[in-house]
Amino acid sequence: MPRRVKRFDVGKISTSNQNNVNGDSIAKVKSGIKDLLINDKIDILSNADFNDPDSSAVHLDKINLKIMEELLNNGDIKSSEIALKLGIPLSTIQRRRSMLEKFSVLKKTYSLDPKKLGLRISEVSISTKKGSSQKVMNEIYKGHRKNIIDMSLRMGNPDTNVSFRIVYKHSVHLFSLLEEIKANPLVDKVSWSEYITEIKNNPAYFSNLFSL
C-alpha cells in the first residue's frame, strides 16, 4: 500500500488558554510538532499546495513527482492507468494532474518530425564579435525564421555565442543558408553538425534530480 501523505497546517495551531501562553511558547510547540512529523517521515505541506486552487506555488511531494514521471514517460497515459500503476485513488490522480497542468509544471504539445517529411536538421554554432550576440541572433532569426526550429544565446564556450537548429532539404540548401550567415560582418566563426539520431523525452534526468 502506498504511504499516505498527511497534511498538517502548523500555522493553525491554537490553544484554549492563549492569554497565558506567550509567543515563545507557541513557537516551541510548533517547532516540536515539526520535528515530530519529520522524524516520523510525514511530509509537511505548506499552505500553498494542491488543496488551494488559488495557490501560486506547487509542492512537489512524492506522489506529484511520481505522477510527473509517468506523464513524462507517456504523455497520452490515462489517469486511470496511473492510479492503477501507483496504487493511488483515481480521484487523487485526477486532482493532482489537473493542478500540475494548471500551474504549467507540465505542458503537452504537438511536435513536428521533419525527418518524416524527408527534411534534414543541423545545429549551427556561431562566434560573434564582442557585444553583438543579441543583435546577431535577432538578425539571423529575422532573415531565416522559416528554417529555424529553435535558437538560443550561449555562455561558457568562447567559440559559441549563438546556437540554433535549422531544417533544410539538402546539402546545397544548407550551404546557401550558411553562406548567408557568414556574410554577416558581426559573425566571426560558423560551425555546424547534422542530427543523425537522438534520444527524446528521456525522464531519467527528472527522476535523478528529485531522487524518486
- State which H helix or E strand residue 38 sits in: helix 23-39
DSSP string across 166-188: EEESSHHHHHHHHHHHHTSTTEE
Q: What confidence category does residue 64 fall into, taking pLDDT thresholds of 50, 70 and 90? A: confident
Residue-wise pLDDT tens digits, 122-150: 999 999 998 899 999 999 999 999 999 99
Nearest Cα to 70, choosing from 96, 46, 51?
A: 96
88 shares a domain with 60:
yes
76 shares a domain with 144:
no
pLDDT for 60: 76
Q: Can you tell me the distance from the alpha carbon of 44 to that of 31, in angstroms, rounded to the nearest whole number?
A: 12
pLDDT for 53: 46
118 shares a domain with 171:
yes
pLDDT for 126: 95
Q: Domain containing 4: what range? A: 1-44
Q: What is the pTM of this model?
A: 0.56
In a domain, 182, yes or no: yes
- CATH value at residue 144: 3.30.70.920
Is 38 a residue whose pLDDT tops 50?
Answer: no
Instruction: Give the total number of structural domains in the chain.
Output: 3
Q: Identify the top-confidence range among 61-65, 86-90, 114-118.
A: 86-90
Beta bridge partners of 148: 166
Is 204 a residue whose pLDDT tops 80?
Answer: no
| Residue 43 vs residue 84, higher pLDDT | 84
Q: What SS3 state is found at 192?
A: strand
In a domain, 50, yes or no: no
135 shares a domain with 96:
no
100: number of Cβ within 10 Å = 19
Residue-wise pLDDT tens digits, 159-198: 889 999 999 999 999 999 999 999 999 999 999 999 888 7
